[in-house]
Structure 1
Amino acid sequence: MTPAPLAALRGALGFLSRVPVGHSEANWEAFRRTPAAIPAAGYVIGALLALPIAAIAAAPARAAAVPSETVAVLFVAWLYTVTGITHLDGVADLGDAAVVHGDAERRREVLKDSAVGVGGALALGVVVLGLAAAALLLVDLARLAPNLPVAAVGLVVAAEVAAKAATATLVCLGDAAHEGLGSALTAESGPRSLLGVGVVAAPVAFVGWPALAPGLAVLAAAGVVAAAALWWARARLGGVSGDVLGATNEVARVVGLHVGVIAWTLS
């Protein structure tokens, strides 16, 4: 029998990415009862996402011929190859719900509509462009000095773990407004589970060691995004849903990357 922590991690990777770990009911059950598995999976996913940046660092002479803008586009394409686009669907749905007039019930109806409106298109554009811009900053950072490629790779991993921790925070503190993916996750956890999430995510604070500012800034940014998402979901939707969880992951990743780069350049 697979140990529960390993089963939870496999379940998290299977749910949060396209990593071929296989799918099973046991892994899913272990995952949805273990919010700490969400940021734990972020370490694996983040390491995979950082491969384009690492490739630039590993072959600087040849890689210098590749424009930073091209690498940034490849980074975005690679990211969604690894993670899939399920969470982007949450961004689009919440973008449409954010601009609709009406009460929480009306907004929840919009979330179920598969058509993408102006609000959803704008939200998708901001997230994808923000991600590409962050990738461009990371590539330039990796090319500045011999020791900085490690920092750029570390920031990618840190931002991914922090984004997953933000998502897990909503799982621990949020309540679902209706039956669905949100309720399947939030019903099994509570505030006490947040301690495990924090313990798993805490090591990314040392990503810029001996400088602590970059890692702490990434974690703080994720916390702000989680708090804002939780407040908005409660006030506008009546609770957390799968779309809210997915959008929180995407927004926290982009914000974390930008804040991390800024903190690194100032430290």
Structure 2
Amino acid sequence: MEDDSYFEDEEFSPIKSLLGLLTFSTILPINVFTSIEYMTKLTWCWPFLHLFVGILAAICGYVSLEILHLNSFFTAAIVYAFLMILTGYNHLDGVMDMADGVMVHGEPEKKIRVMKDSSVGAGGMATLFIVASLTIAGIYNILDYHFIMGIVICEMTAKTSLLTTALLSNPLTPGIGSYFINETRPSNYIASTAIIAIIAYILGGLAGVCGVIGAMVSGIIIATIAKRNFVLANGDVLGMSNEVGRLLSLLFMTVALFFL
């Protein structure tokens, strides 16, 4: 990251901010940096950026299935690994840290201290294993329905889950997560989610819309858990919401594909 003094006289640029957000959340060699204040002004656009990430993951899945002729389970594991590597394992620490904070007994202040601790406990490791395993199983399931667009939808809507949690949470300051939470407002959230639902419908019909609903449900659940345990939310809570959002999006799409 550039020195903070570099940003002192910077003017807001939507394109630069979007590219900065993509730089922040992936390992793609874009290397466009902007101040955290300007980057997070376009937090509501995050799902659209990960539409592109989801397309890359779907291409990875297509190559594995149709060109390399791997089975659906192996392909699902490869797609999940591809997503984790491409996003720089950005939210996995949030899964572990929030889980550790939730598992410990005590007042919110104690839980927050545990969540912010750099060490990882058994609860964090076990929760990461559960979320990762179920996500791979979810990808495997939609591939069994030949619904490869579900990969695009679940990655895109993972960020819808994150935005839902951000909208319903009060920020723990200081911290990067507080910028994302403060910039997620009802107006831009509604606009973002409505557009994402339209894209999901175009890509996957009613099953795609169910994926959006699953992500929103995930965001509500994580925000509720965070309020009960920590009162406030930080980047770890948003990270947990992202990963659980991908999982519940897959779950809702799988159920929808069976009944539709």
Q: TM-score scaled by structure 1?
A: 0.86
Deviations 1:150-175 (A, max 9, x none): x32x1111111111112122333422
Equivalent residue number for residue 45 of structure 2 = 37
Deviates more, 1:5-14 or 1:112-121: 5-14
Assess if the C-alpha contact under 8 Å between 1:169 and 1:197 holds in 2: no
Equivalent residue number for residue 223 of structure 1 = 216
Equivalent residue number for residue 52 of structure 1 = 60
Assess if the C-alpha contact under 8 Å between 1:36 and 1:200 holds in 2: no
Pair 1:16-2:22 in alignment = no
Equivalent residue number for residue 183 of structure 1 = 178
Deviation at 1:247, TM superposition (A): 0.7
Match of 1:123 among 121, 127, 132: 127
Equivalent residue number for residue 242 of structure 1 = 235
Q: How many pairs align?
A: 251
Instruction: Specify whether residues 71 and 189 from structure 1 end up closer, same or farther in structure 2 by C-alpha distance, changes over 3 A only.
Output: closer
Deviation at 1:8, TM superposition (A): 3.0
Deviation at 1:72, TM superposition (A): 2.3
Deviation at 1:84, TM superposition (A): 1.5
Assess if the C-alpha contact under 8 Å between 2:162 and 2:219 holds in 1: yes
Q: Share of identical aligned residues, percent?
A: 27
Assess if the C-alpha contact under 8 Å between 1:167 and 1:248 holds in 2: yes
Deviations 1:21-55 (A, max 9, x none): 213125x4433012222111121111112122221
Pair 1:75-2:83 in alignment = no
Deviations 1:49-78 (A, max 9, x none): 21222214543xx51xx2333222222221
Deviation at 1:240, TM superposition (A): 1.5
Assess if the C-alpha contact under 8 Å between 1:127 and 1:251 holds in 2: yes
Q: TM-score scaled by structure 2?
A: 0.88
Instruction: Specify whether residues 68 and 215 from structure 1 end up closer, same or farther in structure 2 by C-alpha distance, changes over 3 A only.
Output: closer
Equivalent residue number for residue 4 of structure 2 = none
**Equivalent residues in 2 for 1:125-164 (5 A)?**
125-142=129-146, 151-152=147-148, 154-164=149-159
Separation in structure 2 between the aligned mates of residue 223 and residue 189 of structure 1, nearest angstrom:
14
Separation in structure 1 between the aligned mates of residue 195 and residue 23 of structure 2, nearest angstrom:
19
Instruction: Specify whether residues 160 and 229 from structure 1 end up closer, same or farther in structure 2 by C-alpha distance, changes over 3 A only.
Output: same
- Cα RMSD of the aligned pairs, angstroms, is 2.2
